[in-house]
Amino acid sequence: MAFRALLLLLLCSAPVTPAAVGAEPDQQQAEAALKQITERLNDLNVWLGGAERKRAQWQREIQSSDREVARLNREVDAAAVALARVRAELDELRAAQTELEAQRARQARHIGDHLTSAWRMSGDDFMKLLLNQ
């Protein structure tokens, strides 16, 4: 709006070409100059209208882009939360796996200890006894 006022001020202050220096323009020259100024103002009005439509369109596009960016940010945040949950679950599963492997190793040692004890108590060839059963 300030741009239009400035443009109008510049156009109105533009010198009208008189027939001779110091001479006042006659009625026809004044009307022609007024017509020329009016046409220039109309042209500027059309141009400003187009510029305003473009500005409004760009504003809508920016708002649409902002909404899309906000939606994508929400998706990224949700994916980050899901990833954190999966990583925590993976850590729990790894800890459980480590515990199960340790438990399996303890049980294997116990079985070994029991087999050794049984062999010592039997006095016979333990492998032969084991294979016969």
How far from 36 is each of 7, 12, 24, 131, CA to CA, in Å? 15, 11, 18, 119
In one-letter notation, the amino acid at residue 56 is A
Query: Contact at 8 Å (CB) between 54 and 60?
Result: no
For residues 86 and 15, the model is more confident at 86
Q: What's the pLDDT band for 10 if we cut at 50, 70, 90?
A: low
pLDDT above 70 (res 127): no
E strand or H helix that includes residue 26: none
Q: What is the pLDDT of residues 24-46, one digit of tens each?
A: 658 999 999 999 999 999 999 99
The Cα 133–Cα 128 span in angstroms is 9
For residues 95 and 126, the model is more confident at 95
The mean pLDDT of 100-110, rounded to a whole number, is 96
**Three-state DSSP class for residue 108:** helix
